Structure 1
């Protein structure tokens, strides 16, 4: 009986020593640790304005699905809402509304716009993105499939409830 107790005590002591020595060793940095540190630091200072509109308010303003399209909401947070536009199981486009209160530079890029969609200033970003500015809200359509053209993006932007969006407080 005494021998059995001593064995248990020695085993517990050895286990404690092993745990203590491995826990105190300095961790060697992994190959992603520096990138993680940098990306975490970049987010400092970024914040959503307290006056930004809740994303749930935007969901009511997205266009209804139809003509074989399916609308699938993918993200909603303060100041932003996003939905995928699918057809035949394929992602055709991303539709979004964002409150530019937190990012004034997003609204500033519309100041030199000469194009209008639905009566609001519009810009093309690259070959896959169209955006309009409705008051303080940016409404975007981003092609995810090559067959979803700039014309399609403009049509879908006009389907948003833009008048109601313009009157959101």
Structure 2
């Protein structure tokens, strides 16, 4: 008799737990503070940073300047529409060099009023540390990472890119 009563109590407890958990899980969840933003960002298809037709980053690497004279070129990032390399000398990061595809972005608009040219291409200074040129639909940029790497150094390194080859890239 005690054994039968114990089984009944255990069965009643298990049934209570099952009913409680199913009742709780069917209660609608109150939206969290980030749920709406998550929903919007995952559904957003306009103004993507990289267009589907953008050039693969690996295509850009052959246009970067060669290392030499104590300089090292270390590729740091490569993805669709973008490639980047650090320019180092004596173990010090001097600059970031990059090529990006401007397809589907408004990045090229800053060059429309440019009066400066580097290597025959429109150039702009962005702040005190960046110099960029527009080669067709591609932006080629040098970003100083050390105070010793001046605007004239950035212009020199931008001209070391294979700009003519890049201009023929489709």
Question: Normalising to structure 2: TM-score of the pair?
Answer: 0.75
CA separation in 2, counterparts of 1:34 and 1:143? 39
State the alpha-carbon separation in 2 of the partners of residues 86 and 8 from structure 1. 71
Q: Unaligned 5+ residue runs, structure 1? A: none
Q: Which residue of 2 aligns with 1:149?
A: 150
* Contact 1:76–1:82 (CA under 8 A) maintained in structure 2: no
**Which aligned pairs between 1:88-99 and structure 2 lie closer than 5 A?**
91-99=93-101
1:136 and 1:110 map into 2 onto residues whose CA distance is 11
Match of 1:63 in 2: 65
Q: Which has the larger radius of gyration?
A: 2
Number of aligned residue pairs: 166
Q: 4+ residue runs of structure 1 moved beyond 6 angstroms?
A: none
Provide closer, same or farther for how the CA distance between residues 145 and 8 of structure 1 changes in structure 2, counting only shifts above 3 A: farther
RMSD of Structure 2 on Structure 1 (CA)? 3.1
| Shift in CA distance, 22/50, structure 1 to aligned 2, threshold 3 Å | same
Classify 1:118/1:18 alpha carbon distance in 2 versus 1 (closer, same or farther; 3 Å). Answer: farther
Match of 2:166 in 1: 165
Map residues 44-55 of structure 1 onto 2, 5 A cutoff: 44-47=45-48, 48-55=50-57
Query: 1:138: how far off?
Result: 0.8
Cα displacement (A) at 1:156? 2.1
User: Which residue does the alignment assign to 1:114?
Assistant: 115
Aligned to 1:73: 76
Whole-angstrom distance in 2 between the partners of 1:68 and 1:36: 44
More displaced 10-residue stretch of structure 1: 94-103 or 16-25: 16-25
- Whether the 8 Å contact between 2:71 and 2:87 is mirrored in structure 1 is no
Larger mean CA deviation between 22-31 and 116-125 belongs to 22-31
Looking at structure 1, the residues matched to 135 and 15 of structure 2 have their Cα atoms a distance apart, in angstroms, of: 69
1:19/1:100 CA distance change after superposition, 3 Å: same
Q: TM-score, normalised by structure 1?
A: 0.75
> 1:82 and 2:99 equivalent?
no
Unaligned runs of 5+ residues in structure 2 are none
1:101 aligned to 2:85? no
CA 1:168–1:22: 2 relative to 1, 3 Å: same
